[in-house]
Amino acid sequence: MDHARGREAAKRGDGMKPITLLDVAGAIPSRGVDVIALDDALTRLASLYPEQGRLVELRYFGGLTIEETGEAMGLSPATVKRQWAVARAWLLAHLNPEAKA
């Protein structure tokens, strides 16, 4: 039994110090967000693709999971994942035109 417990503990980082996102936050360069540009992009996305605009509201601002968003919108989790990926790509392209290249 002790051997099995030791093997399981070793698989899960036995003895390693846990870290949090706050511990590594200093390692990530901070990028300022242009709130006006973000609002403009979200407004445009919602006017062109209302379902994706709603999805961004629920996922990003509402903090809902894929499953919760699907339930709220009457969509399958797979559809939510696809639309979330498309909406993020669309926003990235409109917030950072250099990313298109």
pLDDT tens track for 23-80: 554 544 555 667 888 889 999 999 999 999 999 999 988 999 999 999 999 999 999 9
Which architecture does CATH list for 2-100?
Answer: Orthogonal Bundle (1.10)
Cα gap 97→39, rounded to integer Å: 16
8-26 pLDDT, tens digit per residue, is: 655 555 566 666 655 554 5
DSSP 71: H
Count of CA atoms in the C-beta half-sphere (13 A) of 51: 12
Show me where the domains of the chain are located: 2-100
